[in-house]
């Protein structure tokens, strides 16, 4: 049986896309997600999209965003 440490070590070796998929699936599996928090995140996402489309928010590449974590 895998230990949490073993699972985390394996997860950290995944590609960025696979890590994102794993996180999405894990979060979806959590029972009792706070609906208020989900609504706030959805609202924030829509607000950011609107700001980007209005030219008030610039985008950066994935590589640029991840470079500060290397």
pLDDT by residue for the chain (70 residues), tens only, comes to 789 999 999 999 999 999 999 998 888 888 666 788 888 999 999 999 999 999 999 999 999 999 988 8
Residues 2 and 25 in one domain: yes
Please check whether residues 39 and 65 belong to one and the same domain: yes
Domain that holds residue 25: 1-31
Contact 59, 52 (CB under 8 A): yes
64 lies in the same domain as 39 = yes
Indicate whether 17 and 44 sit together in one domain.
no
Q: What pLDDT, on the 0 to 100 scale, is given for residue 29?
A: 83
| Same structural domain, 13 and 46 | no
Question: HSE (CB half, 13 Å, CA atoms) of 65?
Answer: 6
User: What was the pLDDT predicted at 32?
Assistant: 65
């Amino acid at each position: 049986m895998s230990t949490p440490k073993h699972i985390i070590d394996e997860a950290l070796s995944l590609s960025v896309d696979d890590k994102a998929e794993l996180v999405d699936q894990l979060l979806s599996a959590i029972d009792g997600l706070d609906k208020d928090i989900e609504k706030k995140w959805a609202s924030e996402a829509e607000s950011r999209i609107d700001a980007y489309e209005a030219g008030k928010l610039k985008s950066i590449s994935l590589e640029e965003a991840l470079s500060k974590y290397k």
